[in-house]
Amino acid sequence: MRILVTAATCLCLVLPLAAEAQTARLPRKSVNERQVEEINRSIRQDQRLKSLEQQIQVEQNLMRQDIERQRLFSTTPSPFRNCPVGAAGC
């Protein structure tokens, strides 16, 4: 039983070191790779910003059209009409 506990303890100590050694051997990113990733990140951010600006512009244009439509088709009383609506004498 002591042998199993000792073996398990040793394995618990050795296995994380082996896994860490494997990840430590991975090559680091080159300067060019980091520059490419930074450029791509910047391009994606610019695209998101442009898309948001276009969406805002579309919404503003729709609001302007609605306001203009309300102005054109509003039923304002005529300034030449002096009698109330439904009056018989006008």
- Is the pTM higher than 0.85? no
Is 88 a member of any domain? no
Mean pLDDT in the chain?
82
Residue 14 in domain: no
Q: Can you give the pLDDT at residue 12?
A: 72
pLDDT at 48 over 90: yes
The confidence score (pLDDT) of residue 74 equals 81
In a domain, residue 66? The reply is yes
7 in any annotated domain: no
Q: Phi/psi of residue 48, each to 5°? A: -65, -40
**Helical (H) or strand (E) element with 49:** helix 31-73
26 occurs within a structural domain: no
| pLDDT tier, 56 (very low <50, low <70, confident <90, very high otherwise) | very high
Q: Is the pLDDT of residue 17 over 60?
A: yes
Q: Which of the 8 DSSP states describes residue 89?
A: T
Please measure the distance between the N-terminal and C-terminal CA atoms of the chain and give it in whole angstroms: 113
Is 2 part of a structural domain of the chain? Answer: no
Range of the domain at 47: 31-71
For 53-64, what is the mean pLDDT?
A: 97
Token duo for residue 70:
């309300």
Per the structure, how many domains does the chain have?
1
In this predicted structure, what is the pLDDT of residue 58?
Answer: 97
Within-domain flag for 86: no
